[in-house]
Amino acid sequence: MATPIEFANQLREKFGELLSAPVEFRGEATLTVSDPSRIVEVCQFAKSSLGFDMLLDLSSIDNYGEDPRWTVVYELYGTGHHVHLRLKTSVGEELSEVPTVCGVWRTADWHEREVYDMMGIRFAGHPDLRRILMWDGYPYFPLRKDFPLAGKPTELPEVAFTRSAPLEGGPFVTVAGGKDAIAREPRVRNPEE
């Protein structure tokens, strides 16, 4: 039975310098794809030739203050060999677009929509790239590090509110600092606190 590092090395043999040297941590292997425009090619090979037939998750990291700003993370799994493999690729603010992997794994559909909705990273070629958690027309991306914890005031024309929506200040807000974990815990806050 092959290990995650052995699978990572097979990918590296196929794609060479496009992939970083594999990093192993606690029995998991991670490879970074240097050119985000080639992520589909790498994922297709991982699925068809190495048996990574399941995309467990697709997420993103906001590296606010760094360039490139975002990292897109693909968690792969092979149901035949029971091995996990992680692929990463980075994208900057000027592009903020990665090709969709919906053609490789159908499960990428909602994962990519969530990353788009929360971070604003677009997936070129996605069959239905629209918000999945926030409402259509919402102007912000709430999981970006520059989005304030307390939210932002938002006018919602032609929706249930005629005044600012109750986004600012909660309803659940984490207090930065605080004397202990209980004081920092998200909960409904009174304006006086």
Q: Are residues 31 and 82 in the same domain?
A: yes
- The answer to whether residue 95 scores a pLDDT higher than 90 is no
- The answer to whether residue 56 scores a pLDDT higher than 70 is yes
Q: Are residues 113 and 167 in the same domain?
A: no
Nearest of 149, 153, 148, 171 to residue 163 by alpha carbon: 153
Q: What's the mean per-residue pLDDT of the chain? A: 86
Rounded to 5°, angle at Cα 119 from 114 and 120 = 95
Structure confidence at residue 140 (pLDDT) = 87
Q: Are residues 159 and 119 in the same domain?
A: no
Q: Find the range with the poorest average confidence among 36-45, 117-126, 141-150.
A: 141-150
- The answer to whether residue 88 scores a pLDDT higher than 80 is yes
At 190, list the tokens: 């009174």
Q: Are residues 37 and 92 in the same domain?
A: yes
Number of folded domains that form the chain: 2
Structure confidence at residue 131 (pLDDT) = 93
CATH number at residue 117: 3.30.460.80
Residue whose entry in the numeric block shows the structure tokens 């941590």: 25
CA-to-CA distance for 77 and 46, rounded, in angstroms?
10
Domain finish residue from 95, 112, 138: 138
Residues 148-171: tens digit of each pLDDT: 776 676 666 555 554 544 454 444
Q: Could you tell me the pTM of the whole model? A: 0.81
Q: Are residues 62 and 95 in the same domain?
A: yes
- The answer to whether residue 185 scores a pLDDT higher than 70 is no
Higher pLDDT, 188 or 123: 123
In a domain, 59, yes or no: yes
| Residue 167 domain boundaries | 148-193
In a domain, 143, yes or no: no
In a domain, 176, yes or no: yes
Q: Is the dihedral of CA 180, 185, 190, 191 positive or negative?
A: positive
**Contact assessment for residue 6 and residue 27, using Cβ atoms and an 8 Å cutoff:** no
Backbone φ, ψ for residue 41 (5° rounding): -60, -45
In a domain, 180, yes or no: yes
